[in-house]
Structure 1
């Protein structure tokens, strides 16, 4: 479908008082392992405007089969529980620490049109209750307490360039967006967390948004300027970078489709919630991040690119 479009003491317990704005209860109750109350906001302070581009949505479900693990096949391949927090997946049903290009290419997928790519991000938890993995790696053993909240929706979208045609992504391209160490990295340039509410389109925050009855949104925008040669790099970032203001790619890079993943949740109003993180990151919302391995068949990728370019 084409459309337009610092290191610090670990917080062991937080007691959040009842907060009321108008008639809306924002946060209440006791929450073990939750971030401090000032990490939750009711106002989205960032406005992002983007040029109109063509887009193609790939339907992959919302992880109804509950594919979760504490692995990271992009950053820590071959190391079980290497993420030290739990990831949620859609797409390739086999993705884990031991995944290889061959195993991914042979595995089933939850996506339409045989897209066997893997798309994944840290789970979101309700922190005022005990999690199923309270004594497991990636969960309570790594400081990530609370029960995992299932996504309400997941949208996988590929966008064209506003200034030029795009090239196909190479198969087995690996990407990361956001900084899982944003807190200890003083919120540096790799920080790209984007939180929002469904009733405030175009507005975002790097804090946890208190959306009331609206859907809580997490958006992951990936780089779209490829070096033309590599499917990965030592940092998992330098082979694909972000475009300059206006959409132009930096010198010696080439435009590819921009991947955007948007995950929606029905967070019960008034209840504290947090993403999984490394323990030293204190579950800071700015540490939100996403990963991707492209295992889309080359013919399907060519078709997708053709649709994006024809619709410019």
Structure 2
């Protein structure tokens, strides 16, 4: 396939792209550039919320997203793609459109799981280069307590087989073996290599499409994210026990709220019900009276609900978890009715 300038490209004609961009003029430019590069299957969305709905519906291969959009920004959209349980492909390459050159802002996007950046105004040459890299030059994905996304280190002299703990000085290994679905090894950081998953679906190294192998791996990845907060959970149990016995409930109440917040930051996006529990807790935190036993009971109920959600995280049927959170919200509403504005 050749671009309009006569330089050949290596972008598959059947690659599927979703574009999230709130500026109509930029969408028109991207539409023309994608067509000139031979991309025929692409969907245009005016904001991040609309784009995530489209991603769930069509399971595209690549996302091209603007940084600043109403409702859901490009960074928030990237976090949804990487972590939300309804995301069809957490290993999808995400190309971020940006006018930012600020190093701290770029780091924010990188830490959200962005694969590559594309500066505005977009040129045909730059867009082609990003698409070709996304299709043919896959990067291993890193799984930790607080991050899931492409390896943020530029130089990957070695690439471990998928789902293998990181280790200092680990020697180079080939990337041709299929991933090991067992993520239960001891360790708090793992590499997942998309290349074998792409090969299982008959795709180039960077494009992972649904297959029995990819579904197995991604299910285990989501479960492992929950497992990695075991330390936070242990602390939560200690705080709860102390809250029952302590003569200083105010201090321990603050510690319990802080611990729940840490768990939220670890798994809140990959487990939206945890986010709901935190929203409930944060809504009443300034109204809790540590001297009131009913207030302490409500704090315990939030902590117990979090523990229950972590227990249920590996279950395919989420109805029991949703019922658990709904019961918590009902109890909170009885003790702390909504404030009138």
Q: Same fold (TM over 0.5)?
A: no
More strand by share: 1
More helix by share: 2
Question: Whose relative contact order is higher, 1 or 2, with alpha carbons under 8 Å and at least 6 apart?
Answer: 1
| TM-score, length basis structure 1 | 0.25
